[in-house]
């Protein structure tokens, strides 16, 4: 029993020390804590880009960058950010980050490789590199670039291209990529097994995978005078390597590229 008490005391001491950490600028180090839950990082911004990179350590580092919206007075240079900072809540391995009221600017995460992400911003880009987990990203105005991802991805932008390069795909979770105005450029491992649903209104679909097409469907729409209007749905359905995970891709004004990783 004594060793357990001693180790509990040590853990508490480590936790207490975390709140006395010195930092430079908007930088918070969230140490790893014992939890059976997988690590998840949530970030929700109004104005600002989100960048995620990985490291071999177990803590999560959150850094804020100031918004570069202020003009520099003549002969002077901006020496840093003294605006309202970041608030980070860590609870049972779920780390939630947002800007404190009045704060704008980019947020940069350095996370362990095995981390799931839920990243949302209204105006800003989202860049992620090297995580293994469930990645859900959404931006209204900005690009999405995800590189060396293993697991599952849901990526959505209203006005921006989506570029995703996956090293491995979780066969049990669906993949979805959509944008209204932009190209969707995806790269998957050669052994990807997927059921493909892809649609673009003003663009083309390209792939170097062997896609077995499933054919288009006819859609019947009832008009006001009791008549039916029958049209062909321009959604492409097919399977890659015999089918598997659901892979849904959508762009309104942009082409779709489904690439095989070399």
Binding site for another protein (CB under 8 A): 15, 18-28, 30, 33, 64, 66, 70, 72-73, 75-92, 100, 102-103
CB of 258 to another protein, least distance (A): 41
Cβ nearer to another protein, comparing 3 with 102: 102
Q: How far apart are CA 132 and CA 114, in angstroms?
A: 5
The position carrying tokens 């859609």 is 219
Cβ nearer to another protein, comparing 94 with 140: 94
Whether the CB-CB separation of 107 and 86 falls below 8 Å is answered with yes
CB of 57 to another protein, least distance (A): 17
Gap between the terminal Cα atoms of the chain: 55
CB of 62 to another protein, least distance (A): 8
Q: Report the SS3 class of residue 253.
A: strand
Q: How far apart are CA 205 and CA 220, in angstroms?
A: 25
Q: What does the block give as tokens for 156?
A: 């959505």
CB of 3 to another protein, least distance (A): 23
Helix (H) or strand (E) holding 197: strand 194-200
Cβ nearer to another protein, comparing 99 with 250: 99
Cβ nearer to another protein, comparing 15 with 57: 15
């Amino acid at each position: 029993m004594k060793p357990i008490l001693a180790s509990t005391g040590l853990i508490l001491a480590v936790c207490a020390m975390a709140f006395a950490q010195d930092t430079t600028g908007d930088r918070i180090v969230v140490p790893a804590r014992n939890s059976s839950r997988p690590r998840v990082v949530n970030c929700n911004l109004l104005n600002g880009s989100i960048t995620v990179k990985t490291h071999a350590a177990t803590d999560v580092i959150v850094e804020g960058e100031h918004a570069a919206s202020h003009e520099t007075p003549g002969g002077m240079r901006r020496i840093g950010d003294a605006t309202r900072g970041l608030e980070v809540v860590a609870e049972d391995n779920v780390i939630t980050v947002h800007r404190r009221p009045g704060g704008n600017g980019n947020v940069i995460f350095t996370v362990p490789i095995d981390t799931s992400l839920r990243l949302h911003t209204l105006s800003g880009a989202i860049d992620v590199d090297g995580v293994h987990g469930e990645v859900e990203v959404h931006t209204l105005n900005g690009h999405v670039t995800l590189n060396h991802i293993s697991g599952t991805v849901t990526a959505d932008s209203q006005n921006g291209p989506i570029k995703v390069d996956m090293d491995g795909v979780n066969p049990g979770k669906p993949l979805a990529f959509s944008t209204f105005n932009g190209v969707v450029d995806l790269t998957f491992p050669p052994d990807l097994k997927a059921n493909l649903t892809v649609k673009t209104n003003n663009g083309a679909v390209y792939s170097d995978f062997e896609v077995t097409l499933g054919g288009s469907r006819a859609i019947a729409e009832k008009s006001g005078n009791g008549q039916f209007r029958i049209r062909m749905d321009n959604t492409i359905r097919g399977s890659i390597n015999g089918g598997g995970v659901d892979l849904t891709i959508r762009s309104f004004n942009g082409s779709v590229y489904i690439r095989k990783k070399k």
